[in-house]
Amino acid sequence: MPKTGPQRYPGASFTYWFQDDWPGTAMESNVGVLHTTEGRTVPDYRGGRDAPNFTLLPDIPARKLRVYQHYDFDVSSRALVNLAGGVETNTANAVQFELVGTCDERNAVTWDGKRAGVDYIFWPDAPDWLLAELGRIVRWAHDQHGIRMESSVVWKAYKKGQAGGSYGANGVRLSGAQWGAYYGWLGHQHVPENDHGDPGDINFKRVLEHATGQATTPSEEDDMSLTPQQAEQLSYVATYGGWAYKGTGKVDAWGLLNTLTTQVAALQGAVAALAKAVGDRSDDVDTEALIAAVQQAIADAVVHVNVTVADNTTPGA
């Protein structure tokens, strides 16, 4: 069967290329299958014996997905179970993507001392920037290979060993006939002859919104989250009471000035933190210019306060 369209994803790494050692079958991919590695690094897949077409590694500090390609886009890979006498799985026009990370709720917050969202990704709670990165790959697969940007399956939570989970006979796994007639995107949990439940209840609806250009606003407050330092700055302002003067009785003008100066510094840091948080998430915001403008405005206000106090108050009075 001839392969059409570009077979290598732009910018992909071929460090782990397995097609030469474990040749697959040429096909015209029309289904995308998502897995999770249940690990924090790119596996070697037993030397390629269990490899997918692609492994996608979240680069959390850079907010990017690093793409490792193991097979041509239209060559069958090896990440699915294929039982004798049933339907075909790996060779049934299915291009496969392993997502480095986990869908196991036991690792939703911490995992062997590592922190979700910082050291690894718990995919059911994947941040919006990461879903957008995955959406770009979904879009490319559509534009270059015609894989439909749609998913008609239910993505169930993993809950391995628990009733109602996605592992094993889960109520969403396709029959052989349904698998043969399916087009679009699904997970390992949907493939017949398999019992794995990955990638859990990933927010694939949001991935498709990004892929189709319908994601105009952040879907979760995650996109306006602050770093611990930024949160501390905001907490300081809230605790200190903003611009309110806390003195009682006779006003100590110099004490008032010191108080206001301290509060201005805290507010300046908080506003700069907010500007940075917004700017990090938008290509249209000039973060440095915004911060500089805020700093200048506050500096002008501090000068005005200093002049006013100096003109009307004698130190120590």
Mapping DSSP to helix (H, G, I), strand (E, B) and coil, where does residue 247 land? coil
- Place 160 in a pLDDT band, splitting at 50, 70 and 90: confident
Q: Which CATH architecture has domain 31-223?
A: 3-Layer(aba) Sandwich (3.40)
pLDDT of residue 258: 58
Residues 6+ apart with CB under 8 A from 311: none
Pairing of strands 114-115, 110-111: antiparallel
pLDDT tens digits along 34-66:
999 999 999 999 999 999 999 999 999 999 999
Per-residue pLDDT at 249 exceeds 80:
no
Task: Reply yes or no on whether the pLDDT at 177 is more than 90.
Answer: yes
**Residue 203 in 3-state DSSP?**
coil
pLDDT at 144 over 90: yes
Closest CA to 97 of 81, 82, 79: 79
Give the model's pLDDT for residue 277: 59
Of the candidate ranges 51-55, 152-156, 304-308, 311-315, the one whose mean pLDDT is the lowest: 311-315
Residue 283 burial by CB count (10 A; 0-12/13-18/19+): exposed, middle or buried? exposed
215: its two tokens: 């994601």
How does DSSP classify residue 102?
A: B
* 246-272: average pLDDT: 56
Name residue, tokens 């036991």: 106
- pLDDT at position 215: 84
Residue 280, pLDDT above cutoff 80: no
- Is pLDDT at 313 greater than 70 in this prediction? no
181 contact partners, CB below 8 Å, separation of at least 6: none
Q: Residues 134, 212: contact at Cβ < 8 Å?
A: no
Looking at residues 144-153, what average pLDDT do you find?
98
**DSSP helix/strand/coil, 244:** coil
E strand map for 101-172? 110-111, 114-115
| 81-90, 246-255, 258-267: range with lowest mean pLDDT | 246-255
DSSP label at 122? B
Provide the sign of the torsion angle of the four alpha carbons 307, 311, 316, 317, taken in this order.
negative
In the structure, what pLDDT confidence band is assigned to residue 286 with cuts at 50, 70 and 90? low
- Pairing outcome for strands 54-59 and 94-99: parallel
Reply yes or no on whether the pLDDT at 1 is more than 60: yes
Where in the chain are the domains? 31-223, 226-312
